[in-house]
């Protein structure tokens, strides 16, 4: 399909869900610039429809397009909770914090019905293995009962991504995500219940949203976030064409400014996958963004202390342990 598939249309295209028959659920992160060793993704493809999503090209591996197919043909891992439990039961598993999710949002709209993420959280709690959750959806509030139990044991951290505080812009580039105000309300809700919650200013889009960094940090801090992170826009593979088409269509008066600033950060290209700089960019503008971010975090008292999640509480539940022992004599 061509990149034109992301253009607005009067005809509603139905979303189709397929069963994903993966035999494992934890994915090893080998990238040196990612802090966590494993990630879990209950879904492949994402209904949120963020135009800039770096995970879009992964849908091409499945024979789908990175454009509209990524948003409307979703692979669902219904066995994710069972596969997660099997992973924790392996002798080779070393207790460590798992990143939930690594590619697509674990709280995308269909999660309201399927509750795969919720059931996975039950497994994390049962085995007392820590998890860091990142999402753009207020649906995470639904699972506050489990999150509170995990938080009491220092087993969970929530990260809410905010790209912009402008609702009209959010609707154009993240059409089916929670509104900026709902994300801030989610931070307030989670922190009020004792959940360690961070804001992720991401992705920072040069020439479009970078000017909002101070405002986003201030609003998140006022909502209770004590931690903050940032990630620069990433446009790997076919996402470049999708993003350029979108920018030209939605912002014809400033598209060239946006694209030129992106190339300034990426050594003259729209994307550079070099580890160490792919998440931040490089050059004078990247340094400026870093200074703006750090200055505002310091002013707001953010990132003063980050307590690592507990890994020493992990254990195999007694019921499962007894069953396994009994099976030896079966």
pTM attached to this predicted model = 0.92
Residue percentage of the chain with pLDDT more than 70: 92
Check residue 101 and give its pLDDT. 87
As a whole number, mean pLDDT of residues 84-92 equals 97
Mind listing the pLDDT tens digit for each residue in 137-171?
A: 999 999 999 999 999 999 999 999 999 999 999 99
Using alpha carbons only, give the angle 266, 35, 142 rounded to the nearest 5 degrees.
105
Check residue 2 and give its pLDDT. 33
Residue 327 has pLDDT above 70, yes or no: no
The residue among 275 and 207 whose pLDDT is bigger is 207
Q: Could you confirm whether domain 12-232 is CATH 3.90.550.10?
A: no
Check residue 33 and give its pLDDT. 65
Check residue 3 and give its pLDDT. 36
Cβ partners under 8 Å of residue 279, min gap 6? 33, 231, 232, 234
Residue percentage of the chain with pLDDT more than 90: 85
As a whole number, mean pLDDT of residues 77-91 equals 97
Element (H, E) at 188: helix 180-192
3-state SS, residue 70: helix
| Helices and strands per DSSP (H, E), number in the chain | 12, 10
Tell me if the bond preceding 101 is cis, omega within 30° of 0.
yes
Check residue 243 and give its pLDDT. 97
Residue 6 has pLDDT above 60, yes or no: no
The two three-digit tokens of residue 279, written as one number: 């998440």
Q: How far apart are the first and last CA of the chain?
A: 55
Confidence of residue 330 (pLDDT cuts 50, 70, 90): very low
Check residue 326 and give its pLDDT. 43
Confidence of residue 105 (pLDDT cuts 50, 70, 90): very high
Mind listing the pLDDT tens digit for each residue in 25-72?
A: 999 987 766 666 899 999 999 999 999 999 999 999 999 999 999 999
CA–centroid distance for 88 within its chain: 23
Range with the poorest average pLDDT among 5-14, 75-84, 198-207:
5-14
Check residue 313 and give its pLDDT. 98
Mind listing the pLDDT tens digit for each residue in 187-196?
A: 999 999 999 9
The phi and psi torsions of 135 (rounded to 5 degrees) equal: -155, 160
Confidence of residue 321 (pLDDT cuts 50, 70, 90): low
Environment class of residue 50 by beta-carbon count within 10 Å: exposed (0-12), middle (13-18) or buried (19+)?
A: buried
3-state SS, residue 208: coil
Check residue 275 and give its pLDDT. 83
3-state SS, residue 161: strand
Check residue 248 and give its pLDDT. 97
Q: What are the E-state strand segments in the chain?
A: 16-19, 26-28, 38-40, 43-44, 73-76, 98-100, 131-135, 156-162, 196-204, 227-232
């Amino acid at each position: 399909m061509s990149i034109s598939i992301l253009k607005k249309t009067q005809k509603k295209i139905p979303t189709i869900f397929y069963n994903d028959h993966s035999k494992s659920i934890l994915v090893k992160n080998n990238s040196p610039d990612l802090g966590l060793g494993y990630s879990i993704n209950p879904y492949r493809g994402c209904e949120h429809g963020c135009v800039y999503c770096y995970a879009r090209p992964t849908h091409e591996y499945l024979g789908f397009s990175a454009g509209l197919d990524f948003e409307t043909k979703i692979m669902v891992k219904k066995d994710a909770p069972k596969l997660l439990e099997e992973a924790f039961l392996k002798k080779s598993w070393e207790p460590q914090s798992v990143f939930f999710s690594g590619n697509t949002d674990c709280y995308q709209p269909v999660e309201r019905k399927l509750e795969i993420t919720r059931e996975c959280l039950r497994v994390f709690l049962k085995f007392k293995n820590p998890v860091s959750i990142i999402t753009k959806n207020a649906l995470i509030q639904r699972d506050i009962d489990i999150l509170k139990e995990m938080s009491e044991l220092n087993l969970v951290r929530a990260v809410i991504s905010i790209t912009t505080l402008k609702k009209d812009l959010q609707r154009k580039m993240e059409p089916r995500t929670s509104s900026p105000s709902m994300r801030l309300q989610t931070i307030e809700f989670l922190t009020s219940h004792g959940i360690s919650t961070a804001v992720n200013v991401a992705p920072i889009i040069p020439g479009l949203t970078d000017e909002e960094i101070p405002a986003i940090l201030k609003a998140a801090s006022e909502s209770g976030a004590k931690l903050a992170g940032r990630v620069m826009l990433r446009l790997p593979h076919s996402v470049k064409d999708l993003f350029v088409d979108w920018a030209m269509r939605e912002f014809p008066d400033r598209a060239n400014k946006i694209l030129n600033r992106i190339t300034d950060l990426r050594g003259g290209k729209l994307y550079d996958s070099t580890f160490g700089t792919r998440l931040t960019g490089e050059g004078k503008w990247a340094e400026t963004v870093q200074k703006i971010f750090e200055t505002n975090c310091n002013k707001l008292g953010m990132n003063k202390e980050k307590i690592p999640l507990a890994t020493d509480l992990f254990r195999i539940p007694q019921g499962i342990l007894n069953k396994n022992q009994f099976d030896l004599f079966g």
